[in-house]
Amino acid sequence: MDRRQFLIGLGAAGVVGAATLTGCGGDDSGGGGGGGGGTESTPASSPMEGGAGGDVGVFTWWAEGSEKEGLEALEGLFKEDYPNNTFVNLAVAGGAGSSAKAKLAADLQNGNPPDSFQGHAGAELIDYIDADQILPVNDVIDELGGADVFPQDLLDRITVNDDIYSVPSNVHRANVVWANPKVLAEAGASEQPGDLDAWLADMQKVKDSGVETPISVGGTWTQVQLFETILLAELGAEDYSALFTTEGDWESDGVKSAVEKYGKILEFANTASDGDDWPAATDAVIEGRAAYNVMGDWAVAQFASKDKVDGEDYTYFAVPGTEGVFDFLADSFTLPTGAKNEEGAKDWLRLVGSEEGQKAFNLAKGSIPARTDVAPDDFPPYQQSAMKSFKEDTIASSIAHGAAVSMAWLSDMSTAMSKFYSGRDEAGLQSDLASAAKTYAV
């Protein structure tokens, strides 16, 4: 029996929730590499000085704004370190892969994979492994330093049957409120509300001060992300983590109350259409049209790229009720089955996992390095605070960004959230979420 385990949530000191995936691939192969064979399943690679040569097509959704800058930082280093290779940027615009994931799925399905693509550590990666769409990269991870340089908990989320399937590039935090301190001061709202009720009261103050939409939202995935943080606030990390296992109770009073509070928050938000991406929602805070936006910490790069000053032009705090919890997601890069330039792709993975690659990329992206040996002092204050939180806080997995639920489960949840956004049927949302969990929780 093929038993796969990945962590759903873990404390700074250990696991608080775990899910076991059992035989979802339909056989016991454990993925395209033959599975179960540890490092035996991938031959040791022998990096060539200057790179293997040829085109290296890299697929991401980092096509605009600060995300593009992060990718460009990596591209610049790739050109310097591997001059024999030609970087081919296959990015498809749309935050959280809102358009990219469908294109990628079609390309993989049609046997036309890129040489490497971005995938989230956790449940999303397991989907690709189950579908035999990616190969183990144990050799690259070993070369980079393995568990000496990547946190074991993170490696666990990209490992199946002892094979490691991607190289992590970064860690992001999803439960961050980005705020405009000038708007808050003018409204007499607090700098950091203590809980969701206090936050709702502050939203009312902001509204009374003449700001029509105190909190900004974008399309559906941003709503899923906002909702997951409200779930976390209402349930706490342990019960939240249990939601992604058969132990979870989506029909509980806690989930009911989270749905109610989420509905109240939406009453203070702008009207968004599904195509509205995160930069527009963050810009609403930058420009003072909203006081708050809940966004992953890729947003800090947006403030920085517009020369906004930390503490003066913008502030940040954990979504009220989630202090001490780090709502986690991590990007990582894969080696697709059938990649045309496997050796060139491995050069890309080597760069992504290197100390210099992680420093350059994460400085531009707002995330923190996945590697533990990149010096915090080289990063601005927000990222330093995130590095500290990642070490000390309880870790919970993001729903919207592939850490907690499979792509099919996320798709059903997104449909439910979108329906709620237009219809505001609280009981309907809770029952849709419960029925999705019944279908997918294992």
Q: Is 219 in the site for ligand GAL (CB under 6 A)?
A: no
Q: State the minimum distance, in angstroms, from the CB of residue 428 to ligand GAL.
A: 27
**Which among 237, 235, 241 is positioned nearest to 254, based on CA atoms?**
235
Cβ contact 142:343 at 8 Å: no
φ, ψ of residue 50 to 5 degrees: the values are: 80, 0
Cβ contact 381:359 at 8 Å: no
Q: Which stretch binds ligand GAL (CB under 6 A): 94-102, 202-210, 386-394, 414-422?
A: 94-102
Cβ contact 272:219 at 8 Å: yes
Q: Which is nearer to ligand GAL, 85 or 334 (CB)?
A: 334
Tokens 């708007």 map to which residue? 183
Q: State the minimum distance, in angstroms, from the CB of residue 102 to ligand GAL.
A: 14
- Return the number of other C-beta atoms located less than 10 Å from residue 360's C-beta: 18
- Return the number of other C-beta atoms located less than 10 Å from residue 247's C-beta: 12
Q: State the minimum distance, in angstroms, from the CB of residue 373 to ligand GAL.
A: 21
**N residues, the chain:** 442
DSSP secondary structure code for residue 379 in this structure: S
Q: Which residue is nearest to ligand GAL (CB)?
A: 95
The one among 96, 104, 243, 319 contacting ligand GAL by CB under 6 A:
96
The one among 58, 224, 401, 409 contacting ligand GAL by CB under 6 A:
401
The one among 172, 261, 350, 371 contacting ligand GAL by CB under 6 A:
172
Per CB under 6 A, which of residues 251..310 are in contact with ligand GAL? 278, 296, 298
Describe the strand order of the beta sheet including 315-318 as a list of residue ranges.
Answer: 215-216, 292-294, 176-179, 315-318
The one among 331, 343, 393, 412 contacting ligand GAL by CB under 6 A:
331
x/- string (CB under 6 A) for ligand GAL, residues 179-218?
----------------------------------------
Q: Which is nearer to ligand GAL, 61 or 268 (CB)?
A: 61
Alpha-helical runs (H) found in 319-406: 342-352, 355-365, 381-392
The one among 2, 67, 228, 343 contacting ligand GAL by CB under 6 A:
67
CA 21 – CA 8 distance, rounded (Å): 11
Q: State the minimum distance, in angstroms, from the CB of residue 366 to ligand GAL.
A: 9
Q: Is 4 in the site for ligand GAL (CB under 6 A)?
A: no
User: What is the enclosing helix (H) or strand (E) of 88?
Assistant: strand 85-89
Q: State the minimum distance, in angstroms, from the CB of residue 62 to ligand GAL.
A: 6
Q: State the minimum distance, in angstroms, from the CB of residue 272 to ligand GAL.
A: 15
User: What is the enclosing helix (H) or strand (E) of 293?
Assistant: strand 292-294
Q: Which is nearer to ligand GAL, 328 or 420 (CB)?
A: 328
CA 224 – CA 231 distance, rounded (Å): 10
Q: Which is nearer to ligand GAL, 33 or 114 (CB)?
A: 114
In the complex, which residues of this chain contact ligand GAL (CB under 6 A)?
61-62, 67, 95-97, 120, 172, 278, 296, 298, 329, 331, 401
